[in-house]
Chains A and B, each alone.
Chain A
Protein backbone atom coordinates (compact mmCIF):
# COMPACT_ATOMS: atom_id res chain seq x y z
CA UNK A 1 0.00 0.00 0.00
CA UNK A 2 2.82 2.40 0.91
CA UNK A 3 4.53 1.62 -2.42
CA UNK A 4 1.39 2.69 -4.27
CA UNK A 5 1.07 5.83 -2.11
CA UNK A 6 4.67 6.84 -2.94
CA UNK A 7 4.14 5.99 -6.62
CA UNK A 8 0.98 8.10 -6.85
CA UNK A 9 2.70 11.00 -5.10
CA UNK A 10 5.61 10.73 -7.55
CA UNK A 11 3.23 10.88 -10.52
CA UNK A 12 1.43 13.82 -8.95
CA UNK A 13 4.71 15.66 -8.44
CA UNK A 14 5.73 15.27 -12.07
CA UNK A 15 2.26 16.36 -13.21
CA UNK A 16 2.23 19.40 -10.91
CA UNK A 17 5.60 20.52 -12.13
CA UNK A 18 3.95 20.77 -15.57
CA UNK A 19 6.45 18.29 -16.97
CA UNK A 20 3.66 16.08 -18.31
CA UNK A 21 1.98 19.12 -19.88
CA UNK A 22 5.21 20.38 -21.43
CA UNK A 23 6.08 16.94 -22.80
CA UNK A 24 2.56 16.48 -24.13
CA UNK A 25 2.44 19.83 -25.90
CA UNK A 26 5.95 19.62 -27.39
CA UNK A 27 5.57 15.98 -28.41
CA UNK A 28 2.22 16.81 -30.02
CA UNK A 29 3.87 19.65 -31.93
CA UNK A 30 6.74 17.38 -32.99
CA UNK A 31 4.32 14.70 -34.20
CA UNK A 32 2.29 17.29 -36.12
CA UNK A 33 5.41 18.70 -37.81
CA UNK A 34 6.87 15.31 -38.66
CA UNK A 35 3.42 14.21 -39.90
CA UNK A 36 3.35 17.19 -42.25
CA UNK A 37 6.85 16.30 -43.46
CA UNK A 38 5.97 12.64 -44.02
CA UNK A 39 2.80 13.66 -45.91
CA UNK A 40 4.99 15.47 -48.45
CA UNK A 41 7.04 12.36 -49.25
CA UNK A 42 4.65 10.62 -51.69
CA UNK A 43 4.46 13.78 -53.81
CA UNK A 44 8.24 14.24 -54.12
CA UNK A 45 10.11 13.76 -57.40
CA UNK A 46 13.61 12.49 -57.99
CA UNK A 47 15.00 14.12 -61.17
CA UNK A 48 11.48 14.66 -62.45
CA UNK A 49 10.31 11.15 -61.67
CA UNK A 50 7.82 10.61 -58.80
CA UNK A 51 9.22 8.52 -55.96
CA UNK A 52 8.21 4.89 -56.18
CA UNK A 53 6.29 3.30 -53.28
CA UNK A 54 9.46 1.34 -52.43
CA UNK A 55 11.44 4.59 -52.22
CA UNK A 56 8.75 6.17 -50.03
CA UNK A 57 8.86 3.12 -47.73
CA UNK A 58 12.65 3.21 -47.55
CA UNK A 59 12.82 6.94 -46.81
CA UNK A 60 9.90 6.75 -44.38
CA UNK A 61 11.50 3.91 -42.44
CA UNK A 62 14.79 5.79 -42.08
CA UNK A 63 13.15 9.07 -41.14
CA UNK A 64 10.91 7.28 -38.65
CA UNK A 65 14.00 5.86 -36.94
CA UNK A 66 15.35 9.41 -36.60
CA UNK A 67 12.05 10.61 -35.13
CA UNK A 68 11.94 7.69 -32.71
CA UNK A 69 15.54 8.49 -31.77
CA UNK A 70 14.32 11.94 -30.78
CA UNK A 71 11.53 10.46 -28.67
CA UNK A 72 13.87 7.97 -27.02
CA UNK A 73 16.36 10.76 -26.27
CA UNK A 74 13.63 12.97 -24.82
CA UNK A 75 12.44 10.02 -22.74
CA UNK A 76 15.94 9.12 -21.60
CA UNK A 77 16.95 12.69 -20.74
CA UNK A 78 13.60 13.31 -19.08
CA UNK A 79 13.96 10.13 -17.02
CA UNK A 80 17.45 11.19 -15.96
CA UNK A 81 16.42 14.71 -14.98
CA UNK A 82 13.37 13.63 -12.99
CA UNK A 83 14.95 10.59 -11.33
CA UNK A 84 18.08 12.57 -10.38
CA UNK A 85 15.94 14.86 -8.21
CA UNK A 86 13.58 12.27 -6.83
CA UNK A 87 15.44 10.95 -3.78
CA UNK A 88 18.27 13.47 -3.39
CA UNK A 89 15.97 16.51 -3.39
CA UNK A 90 13.73 14.99 -0.73
CA UNK A 91 16.70 14.18 1.46
CA UNK A 92 18.16 17.68 1.00
CA UNK A 93 14.84 19.41 1.74
CA UNK A 94 14.25 17.32 4.86
CA UNK A 95 11.01 16.03 3.38
CA UNK A 96 12.40 12.49 3.52
CA UNK A 97 12.78 12.78 7.31
CA UNK A 98 9.05 13.28 7.83
CA UNK A 99 8.19 10.48 5.38
CA UNK A 100 10.67 7.91 6.71
CA UNK A 101 9.59 8.59 10.29
CA UNK A 102 6.32 6.95 9.25
CA UNK A 103 5.78 3.18 9.43
CA UNK A 104 7.32 2.74 6.00
CA UNK A 105 10.40 0.77 4.92
CA UNK A 106 13.01 2.36 2.71
CA UNK A 107 12.61 -0.29 0.02
CA UNK A 108 8.99 0.80 -0.30
CA UNK A 109 10.10 4.36 -1.03
CA UNK A 110 12.50 3.21 -3.76
CA UNK A 111 9.99 0.81 -5.33
CA UNK A 112 7.29 3.49 -5.17
CA UNK A 113 9.51 6.04 -6.92
CA UNK A 114 10.56 3.51 -9.55
CA UNK A 115 6.99 2.43 -10.15
CA UNK A 116 5.67 5.99 -10.40
CA UNK A 117 8.35 7.26 -12.76
CA UNK A 118 8.42 3.97 -14.67
CA UNK A 119 4.67 4.18 -15.30
CA UNK A 120 5.09 7.64 -16.76
CA UNK A 121 7.90 6.42 -19.04
CA UNK A 122 5.86 3.48 -20.30
CA UNK A 123 2.78 5.63 -20.89
CA UNK A 124 4.79 8.33 -22.70
CA UNK A 125 6.61 5.78 -24.87
CA UNK A 126 3.36 4.01 -25.72
CA UNK A 127 1.36 7.14 -26.53
CA UNK A 128 4.07 9.12 -28.35
CA UNK A 129 5.21 6.24 -30.56
CA UNK A 130 1.67 5.01 -31.26
CA UNK A 131 0.47 8.43 -32.36
CA UNK A 132 3.61 8.90 -34.49
CA UNK A 133 3.10 5.49 -36.15
CA UNK A 134 -0.56 6.29 -36.89
CA UNK A 135 0.33 9.70 -38.31
CA UNK A 136 3.12 8.27 -40.51
CA UNK A 137 0.83 5.51 -41.73
CA UNK A 138 -1.83 8.07 -42.58
CA UNK A 139 0.71 10.26 -44.40
CA UNK A 140 2.66 7.59 -46.31
CA UNK A 141 0.93 4.27 -45.88
CA UNK A 142 4.07 2.97 -44.17
CA UNK A 143 3.97 1.09 -40.87
CA UNK A 144 7.10 -0.39 -39.30
CA UNK A 145 7.22 -4.19 -39.13
CA UNK A 146 6.95 -4.46 -35.34
CA UNK A 147 5.60 -1.18 -33.96
CA UNK A 148 4.63 -2.58 -30.53
CA UNK A 149 8.05 -4.17 -30.04
CA UNK A 150 9.78 -0.94 -31.12
CA UNK A 151 7.72 1.05 -28.62
CA UNK A 152 8.52 -1.50 -25.90
CA UNK A 153 12.26 -1.19 -26.59
CA UNK A 154 12.06 2.62 -26.41
CA UNK A 155 10.25 2.32 -23.07
CA UNK A 156 12.78 -0.24 -21.83
CA UNK A 157 15.66 2.09 -22.68
CA UNK A 158 13.96 4.80 -20.61
CA UNK A 159 13.45 2.38 -17.72
CA UNK A 160 17.14 1.48 -17.75
CA UNK A 161 18.15 5.14 -17.52
CA UNK A 162 15.57 5.72 -14.80
CA UNK A 163 16.97 2.79 -12.82
CA UNK A 164 20.56 4.00 -13.18
CA UNK A 165 19.78 7.59 -12.17
CA UNK A 166 17.55 6.63 -9.26
CA UNK A 167 20.38 4.51 -7.93
CA UNK A 168 22.85 7.38 -8.23
CA UNK A 169 20.47 9.90 -6.65
CA UNK A 170 20.28 7.84 -3.46
CA UNK A 171 23.87 8.70 -2.55
CA UNK A 172 24.71 11.73 -4.71
CA UNK A 173 23.26 15.20 -5.14
CA UNK A 174 20.70 15.55 -7.91
CA UNK A 175 22.92 17.46 -10.27
CA UNK A 176 25.84 15.04 -9.85
CA UNK A 177 23.63 12.00 -10.33
CA UNK A 178 22.10 13.55 -13.46
CA UNK A 179 25.42 14.51 -15.03
CA UNK A 180 26.93 11.07 -14.37
CA UNK A 181 23.88 9.30 -15.80
CA UNK A 182 23.92 11.46 -18.94
CA UNK A 183 27.63 10.89 -19.43
CA UNK A 184 27.20 7.13 -19.12
CA UNK A 185 24.21 7.24 -21.48
CA UNK A 186 26.16 9.03 -24.22
CA UNK A 187 29.40 7.10 -23.65
CA UNK A 188 27.50 3.83 -24.02
CA UNK A 189 25.83 5.06 -27.18
CA UNK A 190 29.17 6.12 -28.69
CA UNK A 191 30.76 2.84 -27.58
CA UNK A 192 27.90 1.03 -29.33
CA UNK A 193 28.62 2.89 -32.57
CA UNK A 194 32.34 2.13 -32.18
CA UNK A 195 31.50 -1.52 -31.57
CA UNK A 196 29.52 -1.65 -34.84
CA UNK A 197 32.50 -0.16 -36.68
CA UNK A 198 34.74 -2.75 -35.01
CA UNK A 199 32.45 -5.51 -36.25
CA UNK A 200 32.65 -4.25 -39.82
CA UNK A 201 36.42 -3.90 -39.63
CA UNK A 202 36.76 -7.27 -37.89
CA UNK A 203 38.62 -5.55 -35.07
CA UNK A 204 38.12 -7.64 -31.95
CA UNK A 205 39.03 -5.06 -29.24
CA UNK A 206 36.86 -2.31 -30.75
CA UNK A 207 33.98 -4.72 -31.24
CA UNK A 208 34.37 -5.82 -27.60
CA UNK A 209 34.07 -2.18 -26.51
CA UNK A 210 30.52 -2.06 -27.83
CA UNK A 211 29.63 -5.46 -26.40
CA UNK A 212 30.96 -4.69 -22.93
CA UNK A 213 29.38 -1.22 -22.78
CA UNK A 214 26.00 -2.70 -23.72
CA UNK A 215 26.36 -5.18 -20.89
CA UNK A 216 27.36 -2.55 -18.33
CA UNK A 217 24.52 -0.23 -19.31
CA UNK A 218 21.86 -1.83 -21.54
CA UNK A 219 20.38 1.47 -22.82
CA UNK A 220 22.18 1.35 -26.20
CA UNK A 221 21.55 -2.38 -26.63
CA UNK A 222 17.83 -1.81 -26.13
CA UNK A 223 17.82 1.17 -28.49
CA UNK A 224 19.34 -1.16 -31.12
CA UNK A 225 16.36 -3.43 -30.50
CA UNK A 226 14.03 -0.52 -31.21
CA UNK A 227 15.89 0.22 -34.47
CA UNK A 228 15.71 -3.40 -35.57
CA UNK A 229 11.97 -3.49 -35.06
CA UNK A 230 11.54 -0.29 -37.05
CA UNK A 231 13.44 -1.53 -40.11
CA UNK A 232 11.65 -3.22 -43.04
CA UNK A 233 13.17 -6.63 -43.93
CA UNK A 234 14.45 -5.18 -47.22
CA UNK A 235 16.53 -2.58 -45.38
CA UNK A 236 18.07 -5.21 -43.11
CA UNK A 237 18.84 -7.43 -46.10
CA UNK A 238 20.44 -4.55 -48.02
CA UNK A 239 22.47 -3.39 -45.01
CA UNK A 240 23.77 -6.90 -44.36
CA UNK A 241 25.73 -6.76 -47.57
CA UNK A 242 27.09 -3.24 -47.04
CA UNK A 243 30.01 -2.42 -44.75
CA UNK A 244 29.01 1.26 -44.54
CA UNK A 245 25.37 0.48 -43.75
CA UNK A 246 26.33 -2.06 -41.10
CA UNK A 247 28.37 0.62 -39.30
CA UNK A 248 25.51 3.16 -39.49
CA UNK A 249 24.45 4.09 -35.91
CA UNK A 250 20.83 4.11 -37.07
CA UNK A 251 20.96 0.60 -38.48
CA UNK A 252 20.73 -2.68 -36.64
CA UNK A 253 21.30 -5.97 -38.40
CA UNK A 254 19.98 -8.26 -35.68
CA UNK A 255 17.47 -8.26 -32.88
CA UNK A 256 18.75 -8.44 -29.28
CA UNK A 257 18.91 -12.07 -28.24
CA UNK A 258 16.68 -13.55 -25.55
CA UNK A 259 19.76 -13.91 -23.36
CA UNK A 260 20.50 -10.20 -23.73
CA UNK A 261 16.93 -9.26 -22.83
CA UNK A 262 17.14 -11.53 -19.78
CA UNK A 263 20.41 -9.80 -18.87
CA UNK A 264 18.75 -6.36 -19.22
CA UNK A 265 15.95 -7.52 -16.93
CA UNK A 266 18.45 -8.89 -14.42
CA UNK A 267 20.46 -5.66 -14.66
CA UNK A 268 17.41 -3.57 -13.76
CA UNK A 269 16.50 -5.89 -10.86
CA UNK A 270 20.09 -5.88 -9.57
CA UNK A 271 20.48 -2.10 -9.75
CA UNK A 272 17.13 -1.58 -8.00
CA UNK A 273 18.27 -4.02 -5.29
CA UNK A 274 21.59 -2.16 -4.92
CA UNK A 275 19.69 1.12 -4.75
CA UNK A 276 17.58 -0.23 -1.90
CA UNK A 277 20.67 -1.44 -0.04
CA UNK A 278 22.41 1.92 -0.55
CA UNK A 279 19.35 3.85 0.63
CA UNK A 280 18.91 1.63 3.69
CA UNK A 281 22.50 2.32 4.67
CA UNK A 282 22.25 6.04 4.11
CA UNK A 283 22.35 8.10 7.27
CA UNK A 284 19.73 10.82 7.18
Chain B
Protein backbone atom coordinates (compact mmCIF):
# COMPACT_ATOMS: atom_id res chain seq x y z
CA UNK B 1 0.00 0.00 0.00
CA UNK B 2 1.21 3.55 -0.55
CA UNK B 3 2.08 5.66 2.43
CA UNK B 4 -1.27 7.27 3.31
CA UNK B 5 0.24 10.12 5.24
CA UNK B 6 1.10 13.77 4.92
CA UNK B 7 4.75 12.93 5.06
CA UNK B 8 6.42 12.36 1.73
CA UNK B 9 9.76 10.62 1.48
CA UNK B 10 12.33 11.00 4.21
CA UNK B 11 11.25 14.01 6.21
CA UNK B 12 13.31 14.63 9.32
CA UNK B 13 11.65 17.05 11.73
CA UNK B 14 13.91 20.03 11.55
CA UNK B 15 16.14 22.21 9.43
CA UNK B 16 18.91 20.92 7.23
CA UNK B 17 22.26 22.60 6.76
CA UNK B 18 22.93 24.44 3.53
CA UNK B 19 25.48 23.18 1.04
CA UNK B 20 26.56 19.78 -0.20
CA UNK B 21 24.81 17.13 -2.26
CA UNK B 22 23.42 15.45 0.87
CA UNK B 23 21.15 18.44 1.44
CA UNK B 24 17.78 17.70 -0.17
CA UNK B 25 16.52 19.94 -2.92
CA UNK B 26 13.28 20.49 -1.02
CA UNK B 27 12.61 19.89 2.62
CA UNK B 28 9.30 20.87 4.18
CA UNK B 29 7.98 20.35 7.69
CA UNK B 30 4.26 20.82 8.39
CA UNK B 31 3.97 23.52 5.75
CA UNK B 32 0.50 25.00 6.05
CA UNK B 33 -1.40 27.74 4.26
CA UNK B 34 -4.83 29.00 5.20
CA UNK B 35 -6.82 31.71 3.43
CA UNK B 36 -9.40 32.66 6.02
CA UNK B 37 -11.29 29.44 6.78
CA UNK B 38 -10.02 27.70 3.64
CA UNK B 39 -7.07 25.41 4.20
CA UNK B 40 -5.16 25.49 0.92
CA UNK B 41 -2.31 23.32 2.20
CA UNK B 42 -2.50 21.29 5.39
CA UNK B 43 0.80 20.34 7.04
CA UNK B 44 2.87 19.26 4.07
CA UNK B 45 6.02 17.44 5.14
CA UNK B 46 8.33 16.10 2.50
CA UNK B 47 11.88 15.82 1.34
CA UNK B 48 12.83 15.67 -2.32
CA UNK B 49 16.41 14.52 -3.03
CA UNK B 50 18.55 16.23 -5.63
CA UNK B 51 18.42 14.88 -9.14
CA UNK B 52 14.96 13.35 -8.70
CA UNK B 53 11.80 14.00 -10.67
CA UNK B 54 9.03 14.44 -8.15
CA UNK B 55 5.43 14.48 -9.29
CA UNK B 56 2.86 16.44 -7.33
CA UNK B 57 -0.44 15.10 -8.49
CA UNK B 58 -3.92 16.24 -7.68
CA UNK B 59 -7.21 17.56 -9.03
CA UNK B 60 -7.70 21.25 -9.74
CA UNK B 61 -7.76 23.28 -6.54
CA UNK B 62 -6.02 20.56 -4.51
CA UNK B 63 -3.24 22.85 -3.28
CA UNK B 64 -0.48 22.01 -5.77
CA UNK B 65 0.20 25.57 -6.91
CA UNK B 66 -0.08 26.84 -3.34
CA UNK B 67 2.69 24.41 -2.35
CA UNK B 68 4.95 25.70 -5.12
CA UNK B 69 4.25 29.34 -4.30
CA UNK B 70 5.04 28.73 -0.64
CA UNK B 71 8.31 27.01 -1.48
CA UNK B 72 9.30 29.88 -3.78
CA UNK B 73 8.48 32.55 -1.21
CA UNK B 74 5.69 34.01 -3.35
CA UNK B 75 3.22 33.38 -0.54
CA UNK B 76 3.85 33.30 3.19
CA UNK B 77 3.08 30.09 5.11
CA UNK B 78 0.55 30.24 7.91
CA UNK B 79 2.57 27.63 9.78
CA UNK B 80 5.47 25.27 9.24
CA UNK B 81 8.93 25.60 7.75
CA UNK B 82 10.64 24.65 4.55
CA UNK B 83 14.07 24.81 2.98
CA UNK B 84 15.15 25.00 -0.64
CA UNK B 85 18.65 23.63 -1.24
CA UNK B 86 19.25 24.04 2.49
CA UNK B 87 18.21 27.71 2.64
CA UNK B 88 15.02 28.76 4.46
CA UNK B 89 12.25 29.66 2.02
CA UNK B 90 11.40 33.33 1.77
CA UNK B 91 15.02 34.40 1.53
CA UNK B 92 16.26 35.57 -1.85
CA UNK B 93 19.32 33.38 -1.36
CA UNK B 94 17.08 30.28 -1.38
CA UNK B 95 16.05 31.09 -4.96
CA UNK B 96 19.60 31.50 -6.26
CA UNK B 97 19.69 28.15 -8.13
CA UNK B 98 16.01 27.69 -8.79
CA UNK B 99 14.01 27.73 -12.02
CA UNK B 100 10.25 28.18 -12.17
CA UNK B 101 7.63 27.85 -14.85
CA UNK B 102 4.35 29.29 -13.48
CA UNK B 103 1.05 27.72 -14.45
CA UNK B 104 -0.51 30.92 -15.74
CA UNK B 105 1.69 33.62 -17.13
CA UNK B 106 2.09 35.91 -20.13
CA UNK B 107 5.39 37.49 -21.02
CA UNK B 108 5.32 41.09 -22.29
CA UNK B 109 4.16 41.11 -25.89
CA UNK B 110 6.63 43.84 -26.82
CA UNK B 111 9.74 41.82 -25.90
CA UNK B 112 11.56 39.17 -27.90
CA UNK B 113 12.43 35.79 -26.33
CA UNK B 114 16.10 36.80 -26.31
CA UNK B 115 15.24 39.96 -24.35
CA UNK B 116 13.12 37.99 -21.86
CA UNK B 117 16.00 35.57 -21.32
CA UNK B 118 18.57 38.38 -21.04
CA UNK B 119 16.44 40.01 -18.37
CA UNK B 120 16.29 36.80 -16.35
CA UNK B 121 20.01 36.16 -16.86
CA UNK B 122 20.68 39.56 -15.26
CA UNK B 123 18.37 38.78 -12.35
CA UNK B 124 20.14 35.47 -11.74
CA UNK B 125 23.56 37.03 -12.13
CA UNK B 126 24.77 35.11 -15.20
CA UNK B 127 27.98 36.89 -16.28
CA UNK B 128 27.59 39.00 -19.41
CA UNK B 129 30.18 36.94 -21.30
CA UNK B 130 28.16 33.73 -20.77
CA UNK B 131 24.68 35.07 -21.48
CA UNK B 132 24.79 34.60 -25.25
CA UNK B 133 25.67 30.91 -25.04
CA UNK B 134 23.25 30.33 -22.15
CA UNK B 135 20.35 31.91 -24.05
CA UNK B 136 21.22 30.13 -27.29
CA UNK B 137 21.31 26.79 -25.51
CA UNK B 138 17.98 27.35 -23.74
CA UNK B 139 16.24 28.43 -26.96
CA UNK B 140 17.65 25.44 -28.84
CA UNK B 141 16.44 22.98 -26.20
CA UNK B 142 12.87 24.30 -26.28
CA UNK B 143 12.84 24.62 -30.07
CA UNK B 144 12.59 28.39 -30.31
CA UNK B 145 16.05 29.18 -31.67
CA UNK B 146 14.68 30.38 -35.01
CA UNK B 147 12.15 32.67 -33.28
CA UNK B 148 14.54 34.24 -30.79
CA UNK B 149 14.21 37.76 -32.22
CA UNK B 150 10.47 37.74 -32.91
CA UNK B 151 8.06 39.55 -30.66
CA UNK B 152 6.52 37.40 -27.93
CA UNK B 153 3.16 38.98 -28.82
CA UNK B 154 3.12 36.92 -32.03
CA UNK B 155 3.58 33.63 -30.13
CA UNK B 156 0.94 30.97 -29.57
CA UNK B 157 0.19 29.85 -26.02
CA UNK B 158 2.27 26.72 -26.58
CA UNK B 159 5.25 28.76 -27.75
CA UNK B 160 4.93 30.99 -24.71
CA UNK B 161 5.01 27.86 -22.57
CA UNK B 162 8.18 26.74 -24.34
CA UNK B 163 9.68 30.16 -23.65
CA UNK B 164 8.67 29.84 -20.00
CA UNK B 165 10.48 26.51 -19.90
CA UNK B 166 13.60 28.13 -21.38
CA UNK B 167 13.43 30.82 -18.67
CA UNK B 168 13.15 28.12 -15.98
CA UNK B 169 16.26 26.35 -17.29
CA UNK B 170 18.55 29.39 -17.22
CA UNK B 171 21.58 29.52 -14.95
CA UNK B 172 22.08 25.76 -14.40
CA UNK B 173 19.40 25.48 -11.70
CA UNK B 174 19.65 22.77 -9.07
CA UNK B 175 15.89 22.54 -8.82
CA UNK B 176 13.19 23.41 -11.32
CA UNK B 177 9.52 23.86 -10.47
CA UNK B 178 7.22 23.16 -13.39
CA UNK B 179 3.57 24.00 -12.78
CA UNK B 180 1.44 22.26 -15.39
CA UNK B 181 4.22 22.60 -18.01
CA UNK B 182 2.38 20.95 -20.88
CA UNK B 183 -1.11 22.36 -20.44
CA UNK B 184 -0.87 24.38 -23.67
CA UNK B 185 1.25 21.98 -25.70
CA UNK B 186 0.36 19.60 -28.52
CA UNK B 187 1.44 15.92 -28.34
CA UNK B 188 4.80 16.68 -29.94
CA UNK B 189 5.38 19.49 -27.47
CA UNK B 190 4.47 17.21 -24.57
CA UNK B 191 6.93 14.62 -25.77
CA UNK B 192 9.61 17.32 -26.04
CA UNK B 193 8.91 18.49 -22.49
CA UNK B 194 9.24 14.95 -21.15
CA UNK B 195 12.61 14.68 -22.84
CA UNK B 196 13.66 18.04 -21.37
CA UNK B 197 12.63 16.90 -17.90
CA UNK B 198 14.62 13.68 -18.24
CA UNK B 199 17.57 15.68 -19.53
CA UNK B 200 17.38 17.93 -16.46
CA UNK B 201 17.49 14.87 -14.22
CA UNK B 202 20.51 13.65 -16.19
CA UNK B 203 22.29 16.86 -15.22
CA UNK B 204 21.50 16.29 -11.56
CA UNK B 205 18.69 18.85 -11.42
CA UNK B 206 15.72 18.03 -9.23
CA UNK B 207 12.37 18.60 -10.94
CA UNK B 208 9.18 19.32 -9.01
CA UNK B 209 6.42 18.59 -11.48
CA UNK B 210 2.96 19.86 -10.64
CA UNK B 211 0.42 18.22 -12.84
CA UNK B 212 -3.04 16.81 -13.14
CA UNK B 213 -2.00 14.92 -16.29
CA UNK B 214 -1.55 11.40 -15.03
CA UNK B 215 0.19 10.04 -18.11
CA UNK B 216 2.79 12.77 -17.87
CA UNK B 217 3.54 11.96 -14.25
CA UNK B 218 3.49 8.23 -14.92
CA UNK B 219 6.08 8.52 -17.68
CA UNK B 220 8.72 10.70 -16.07
CA UNK B 221 8.44 10.81 -12.28
CA UNK B 222 10.68 8.85 -9.90
CA UNK B 223 8.33 9.48 -7.00
CA UNK B 224 5.04 11.21 -6.58
CA UNK B 225 2.57 12.45 -4.05
CA UNK B 226 -1.17 12.71 -4.51
CA UNK B 227 -2.65 15.80 -2.93
CA UNK B 228 -6.31 16.60 -2.39
CA UNK B 229 -7.92 19.48 -0.54
CA UNK B 230 -4.56 20.57 0.83
CA UNK B 231 -3.55 17.15 2.14
CA UNK B 232 -1.18 14.54 0.80
CA UNK B 233 -3.30 11.40 0.63
CA UNK B 234 -0.76 9.02 -0.88
CA UNK B 235 2.89 9.09 -1.77
CA UNK B 236 5.75 6.88 -2.84
CA UNK B 237 7.31 5.53 -5.99
CA UNK B 238 4.99 4.74 -8.87
CA UNK B 239 5.23 1.01 -8.03
CA UNK B 240 4.38 1.68 -4.41
CA UNK B 241 1.40 3.79 -5.35
CA UNK B 242 0.10 1.23 -7.83
CA UNK B 243 0.83 -1.86 -5.74
CA UNK B 244 -2.02 -0.99 -3.41
CA UNK B 245 -4.36 -1.37 -6.32
CA UNK B 246 -3.00 -4.53 -7.98
CA UNK B 247 -5.29 -7.49 -8.40
CA UNK B 248 -5.91 -10.75 -10.17
CA UNK B 249 -8.51 -12.19 -12.55
CA UNK B 250 -9.40 -15.87 -12.27
CA UNK B 251 -11.48 -18.43 -14.17
CA UNK B 252 -12.25 -21.32 -11.89
CA UNK B 253 -14.71 -24.26 -12.20
CA UNK B 254 -15.65 -27.07 -9.88
CA UNK B 255 -16.23 -24.97 -6.77
CA UNK B 256 -19.26 -23.23 -5.33
CA UNK B 257 -19.28 -20.19 -3.06
CA UNK B 258 -16.11 -18.82 -4.63
CA UNK B 259 -16.63 -15.18 -3.52
CA UNK B 260 -16.83 -16.29 0.08
CA UNK B 261 -13.79 -18.53 -0.29
CA UNK B 262 -11.71 -15.76 -1.86
CA UNK B 263 -12.78 -12.92 0.43
CA UNK B 264 -9.93 -13.50 2.88
CA UNK B 265 -7.35 -12.73 0.13
CA UNK B 266 -8.78 -9.47 -1.07
CA UNK B 267 -11.84 -7.67 -2.35
CA UNK B 268 -13.93 -9.69 -4.81
CA UNK B 269 -15.42 -7.25 -7.29
CA UNK B 270 -17.24 -9.43 -9.76
CA UNK B 271 -18.87 -12.80 -9.96
CA UNK B 272 -19.63 -15.16 -12.80
CA UNK B 273 -17.33 -17.24 -14.93
CA UNK B 274 -14.52 -14.75 -14.37
CA UNK B 275 -13.79 -13.41 -10.93
CA UNK B 276 -11.82 -10.22 -10.41
CA UNK B 277 -10.10 -9.45 -7.15
CA UNK B 278 -8.57 -6.20 -5.98
CA UNK B 279 -6.05 -5.42 -3.26
CA UNK B 280 -4.30 -8.74 -3.66
CA UNK B 281 -0.61 -8.90 -2.79
CA UNK B 282 1.54 -10.39 -5.58
CA UNK B 283 2.97 -12.99 -3.21
CA UNK B 284 -0.50 -14.27 -2.31
CA UNK B 285 -1.43 -15.33 -5.86
CA UNK B 286 0.33 -18.78 -5.74
CA UNK B 287 -1.29 -19.44 -2.37
CA UNK B 288 -4.73 -18.60 -3.74
CA UNK B 289 -4.27 -21.01 -6.65
CA UNK B 290 -2.96 -23.75 -4.32
CA UNK B 291 -5.90 -23.27 -1.98
CA UNK B 292 -8.43 -23.46 -4.80
CA UNK B 293 -6.83 -26.62 -6.23
CA UNK B 294 -6.69 -28.22 -2.76
CA UNK B 295 -10.43 -27.63 -2.43
CA UNK B 296 -10.99 -29.47 -5.72
CA UNK B 297 -11.30 -26.49 -7.98
CA UNK B 298 -10.03 -26.41 -11.57
CA UNK B 299 -8.11 -23.23 -12.27
CA UNK B 300 -8.29 -22.43 -15.99
CA UNK B 301 -6.70 -18.97 -15.99
CA UNK B 302 -4.93 -16.56 -13.66
CA UNK B 303 -4.31 -13.04 -15.01
CA UNK B 304 -2.48 -10.49 -12.89
CA UNK B 305 -4.28 -7.16 -13.11
CA UNK B 306 -2.32 -3.90 -13.05
CA UNK B 307 -4.31 -0.80 -12.25
CA UNK B 308 -3.62 2.25 -14.32
CA UNK B 309 -2.45 5.32 -12.46
CA UNK B 310 -5.72 6.95 -13.42
CA UNK B 311 -7.78 4.20 -11.77
CA UNK B 312 -5.53 4.26 -8.72
CA UNK B 313 -5.67 8.06 -8.58
CA UNK B 314 -9.47 8.04 -8.64
CA UNK B 315 -9.55 5.27 -6.07
CA UNK B 316 -7.28 7.14 -3.68
CA UNK B 317 -9.35 10.31 -4.11
CA UNK B 318 -12.59 8.42 -3.46
CA UNK B 319 -11.10 6.81 -0.39
CA UNK B 320 -10.06 10.26 0.86
CA UNK B 321 -13.59 11.57 0.17
CA UNK B 322 -15.12 8.67 2.10
CA UNK B 323 -12.71 9.29 4.96
CA UNK B 324 -13.59 12.98 5.04
CA UNK B 325 -17.32 12.19 4.96
CA UNK B 326 -16.93 9.74 7.82
Contact = CB atoms under 8 A, between A and B. Distances in A.
Interface of A: 1-2, 5, 9, 12-13, 16-17, 93-95, 97-105, 281, 283-284
Contacts of A283: 35, 74-76
B110 A16 contact: yes
Give 4 nearest A-B pairs by CB, closest first: A94-B105, A16-B110, A101-B100, A102-B123
A97 B164 CA distance: 11
A16 B111 CA distance: 8
B24 interface: no
Nearest to B170: A102
Contacts of B76: 281, 283
Given A101-B72, A103-B93, A104-B92, A93 B106 contact: yes
A222 to B, nearest CB: 32
B44 interface: no
A94 B157 CA distance: 14
**B interface, how many residues as a size bin?**
20 to 34
B120 interface: yes
A281 B95 CA distance: 18
22 contacts: A2-B123, A9-B119, A13-B110, A93-B106, A94-B104, A97-B69, A97-B100, A97-B102, A98-B100, A98-B102, A98-B164, A99-B120, A100-B73, A101-B95, A101-B100, A101-B102, A103-B123, A103-B124, A104-B92, A283-B35, A284-B69, A284-B74
B120 A103 contact: no
Nearest to A2: B123
A95 B108 contact: yes
B106 A95 contact: yes
Contacts of A102: 95, 120, 123-124
Interface string B105-146: 111101100010001101111000000000000000000000
A8 to B, nearest CB: 9
B98 interface: yes
B96 interface: yes
Given A1-B125, A98-B100, A102-B123, 16 more contacts: A1-B122, A2-B122, A2-B123, A5-B122, A98-B105, A98-B120, A98-B167, A99-B120, A101-B73, A101-B102, A103-B92, A103-B96, A103-B124, A105-B92, A283-B74, A283-B75
Contacts of B69: 97, 284
Contacts of B75: 283-284
Nearest to B168: A98
Contacts of A12: 115
A99 B106 contact: no
Contact of B107 (A2, A95, A284): A95
B102 A99 contact: no
Contact of B95 (A17, A94, A103, A284): A103
Contacts of B124: 102-103
Interface of B: 35, 69, 72-76, 92-93, 95-96, 98, 100-108, 110-111, 115, 119-120, 122-125, 164, 167, 177
Contact of A17 (B98, B110, B123, B164): B110
Contacts of A97: 69, 74, 100, 102, 105
Nearest to B72: A101
Given A93-B106, A98-B164, A103-B95, A5 B74 contact: no
Given A5-B119, A284-B75, A103 B125 contact: yes
A5 B106 contact: no
Contacts of A93: 105-108
A180 B72 CA distance: 32
A98 B121 CA distance: 12
A95 B101 CA distance: 10
Contacts of B98: 101
A5 to B, nearest CB: 4
Contacts of B106: 93-95
Contact of B123 (A16, A104, A281, A284): A104
Contacts of B177: 101
B134 to A, nearest CB: 15
A93 to B, nearest CB: 4
A98 B100 CA distance: 6
A13 B125 CA distance: 21
B105 A5 contact: no
A13 B100 CA distance: 23
Contacts of A95: 105-108
Contacts of B102: 94, 97-98, 101
Contacts of A5: 119, 122-123
A93 B164 CA distance: 13
Given A5-B122, A9-B119, A17-B110, A101 B92 contact: no
A278 to B, nearest CB: 14
A105 B91 CA distance: 8
Nearest to B107: A95
A100 B72 CA distance: 8
B291 to A, nearest CB: 57
